[in-house]
Amino acid sequence: MQRTFSLILLVILVSPLSGCTGVSYYAQSLSGHVEVMAGRRDVGRLIEDASTPDTLRAKMAAARDIRLFASEALALPDNASYRSYVDIGRDYVTWAVFAAPEFSLAPRIWCFSVFGCVPYRGYFSRETAERTAAGLARQGFDVHVSGVTAYSTLGWFSDPLLSTMLRRDESFLAGLVFHELAHQRVYVDDDSAFNEAFAVAVEQTGVKSWLRARGDTAGLRRYEAGLTRNAAFLALVAQTRVELQAIYQGPGSAAEKRAAKADAIERLRARHRRMRARRWGGYSGYDAWIAAPINNAKIAATSVYNDRVPAFLRLFALCTQDYPRFYAAVARLGALDKALRAKAVETAATCE
């Protein structure tokens, strides 16, 4: 996918031990986070330090401006998060393991006693993540392991900027900062689809606002073109999801459903090839996602982060693009019973 998953880490750092989660899991989470935090360097001091490489100094200056914009223009928390920097020396900070049954798109859920349930488990070690995935696969689950660029502790710690967040352009960095700070603004226990769609909505509207404020018309065009392309790709995935649901709910033996599932996934690849050639001029940003194994866990993970984004964007428009009003409306919806919340988001007719 064009956008790498982010992760809520708070649940695995401060939740008490529960019967379904072992001491070793909490230990790796805590030690990994402590290691990251120990490497923090103040962004302002890095900018002022004559020994800081010019490339890094320029990125830190951009990050400082983005962080200021987040609080002043987007009404996101004004705290110490993303005002320090850590070079973690690897491509991803953590790895998330997703799982789903062979004939279901409902993700496996892991629950923590204080902050509810999430559809993944996060690991600071890729080897451990892959070992966990292999164990789930032996139990018959479809599994997907995704590298994670950034994570949030929901304001419990001063989350730093990470070297993984700087590997693309400034719009990517701005989107990550706005997304993670949005989790600090509103977070609803036990509803990842709600939380992630809200944060993506803040991310997308925030980046567009930031580009407009800078007068970067060309950058805004590129970003909006990317959003349009991403929506088209997600529509391809959604079409496959509908096909798979029909297969799983329909008649047939396990072998027949397995074959039909494989055919549906190949149709997704074929549709992507046609769209890539006919509409995207050969754009290759989704090629790696398409070429790698595709299964229920991977499709379910994509759904968690994206399905409800249009509803939150519509609510933002209803709130006249006023961030404090928008956050207040989201908080009110988040306070509803979970059984009512999803429909309320989709059908909201007013910001109030």
Per-residue pLDDT of 273-287, as tens digits, reads 999 999 999 999 999
pLDDT averaged over every residue in the chain: 90
Confidence of residue 22 (pLDDT cuts 50, 70, 90): low
Q: Quick one: pLDDT at residue 115?
A: 61
Short-list 162, 143, 141, 142, CA closest to 96:
143
Q: Judge whether residue 342 has pLDDT over 60.
A: yes
The lowest-confidence range among 9-13, 267-271, 285-289 is 9-13
**Per-residue confidence (pLDDT) for residue 110, from 0 to 100:** 85
Residue appearing with tokens 């549709």: 271
Spatial separation of the C-alpha atoms in residues 79 and 76, rounded to whole Å? 9
Q: Report the amino acid identity of residue 128.
A: T
Distances in Å between the Cα of 285 and the Cα atoms of 2, 4, 29 are 6, 12, 31
Q: How far is CA 170 from CA 19, 60, 129, 131, in A?
A: 43, 11, 29, 34
Q: Which amino acid is at 246?
A: A
More confident residue, 14 or 88: 88
Evaluate if residue 114 carries a pLDDT over 60.
Answer: no
C-beta separation of 161 from 149 below 8 A: no
Sign of the torsion angle spanned by Cα atoms 331, 334, 336, 342: positive
- Looking at residue 6, its pLDDT comes to 53
CB 9 within 8 A of CB 152: yes
Does 156 have pLDDT greater than 90? no
Rounded to two decimals, the pTM is 0.91
Give the per-residue pLDDT at 12. Answer: 42
The pLDDT assigned to 29 comes to 75
pLDDT of residue 171: 95
The pLDDT of residue 26 is 67
